[in-house]
Amino acid sequence: MDKSQDRSGRDGARSGALRLLAAVEEGATLDEAAALIEGAAPPDRARARRLAREVLRRQARADALLAPFLARRPRPEIQRILRLATVEMLALGEAPHGAVNAAVALARASGPKGQAASGMVNAVLRKVSASAETWVGLPPQHMPGWLRKPIVAAWGKPAARAIEAAHEAGAPLDLTPKAADCPGDALPTGSHRLPAGTQVSALPGYDAGDWWVQDAAAAMAVRVLDPQPGETVADLCAAPGGKTLQLATAGSRVTALDISESRLARVAENLARCGLAAEIVAGDALTWRPEEPLDAVLLDAPCSATGTIRRHPELPLIRDGAGLRDLTALQARLIDHALTLLRPGGRLVYATCSLLPAEGEEQLAAALSRHPGLTVEPPQAPGIQPGWITEQGGLRLRPDLWPERGGMDGFFIARLRKSA
């Protein structure tokens, strides 16, 4: 590829990133906005999404650096161009002349008002390119108040700052092995880790179904459940299926339930690729009942997904916590119903990919108060550190844990035993 083709591809990816960022400002997730860049070549689509994620992780930080160089706040489309070039230069190591020239071209291409602002874009970004020391001294982007306040209350300001640093750093690629020969570095909990950006389908063992993509924290829910061969287990809210695959690998007789038939199709595809079997049922986890009481239930409940901000940096920008009350009410109803599906002495693992105590520690306390015979069994699985276990006996995982390894998603996991 010659330099002109490479530059064209980069500029196409930048244009795509700007379209994604504009969609996020309108309230869309990056997945929902993906249709806006469908016409681009696959490498440009991948680069556009990567650029958009990196900007979203540092948007407030870029704005703080830009502010002293701006006489007034620019139009939104120009502000997005400035943010993109700032992050490219100061966070991603892009050569200043390339990033500045591309930003000026993007401004000019945005219409008459962009053409008028192109001189300002050039002048401001040349100053930004010389501000690396200032950039390094700026703190990572704060979580919004509705999320940061309960985190500070639960674990203190230093933990909140460490979580914010983990959000900015992004997430590596984790695999759960079915076979012993799995790519990546082995983690203490049994997952394997590869650098972010690794092309999944090119890894050895993908076609053979020797492993699947699953964050190390997400994989802990099944390991805490400890499914046994021949046990009857239901995976409620099962899609996209990583936990179903774990249960099937353990030799359990698994029912994978989800309300979305389209999402269950992905579960079926993953089971087929990995050579595993489970009964797939489209249904409502609040009303579904098995023919016979179950040995165990895994309930990975619908939640705020605030534990996945490393992977989905748009979430703090498009949500305001308004639906939390409805979510916690739904979680409580799901816990109550799941317990009725168990045989006496059966066990339930409740999990949420949330950083909010309302969806974890507080939900567990409320369940114990509603069900006097219910007991918590502290998690027993490889790699769990004592500091991760709460006073109640739940497992609290946070993005700032394992900082030397690249962190993990935020999760709350509790193993509950029904009275015999």
The residues assigned a catalytic role are 353
Instruction: State yes or no: 240 annotated in a binding site.
Output: yes
Instruction: State yes or no: 258 annotated in a binding site.
Output: yes
- Which burial class, exposed, middle or buried, applies to 91 when counting CB atoms under 10 A from its CB (0-12, 13-18, 19+)? middle
Other C-beta atoms lying within 10 Å of the C-beta of residue 344: 9
Instruction: State yes or no: 302 annotated in a binding site.
Output: no
CA distances from 240 to 256, 262, 263, 297, 400 (A): 10, 10, 6, 17, 25
Distance CA 256, CA 263 (A): 11
Instruction: State yes or no: 284 annotated in a binding site.
Output: yes
Distance CA 363, CA 206 (A): 37
Distance CA 279, CA 255 (A): 5
Residue 395's region, left for phi above 0, alpha for psi from -120 to 50, else beta, is beta
CB 19, CB 277: distance < 8 Å: no
Other C-beta atoms lying within 10 Å of the C-beta of residue 96: 17
Instruction: State yes or no: 238 annotated in a binding site.
Output: yes
- Burial string for 208-235 (b: 16+ CB within 10 Å, else e) reads ebbbbbbbbbbbbbbbbbbbeeebbbbb
DSSP secondary structure letters along 250-277: TT-EEEEEES-HHHHHHHHHHHHHHT--
At 134, list the tokens: 């200032």
Instruction: State yes or no: 345 annotated in a binding site.
Output: no
Sign of CA dihedral 283, 370, 254, 208: positive
Instruction: State yes or no: 300 annotated in a binding site.
Output: yes
Non-local CB neighbours of 267 within 8 Å, separated by 6+ positions: 238, 239, 240, 241, 244, 256, 258, 278, 280
Distance CA 219, CA 221 (A): 6
Instruction: State yes or no: 400 annotated in a binding site.
Output: no
Other C-beta atoms lying within 10 Å of the C-beta of residue 190: 17
Residue numbering of the annotated binding site for S-adenosyl-L-methionine: 237-243, 258, 284, 300
- Binding site listing: 237-243, 258, 284, 300
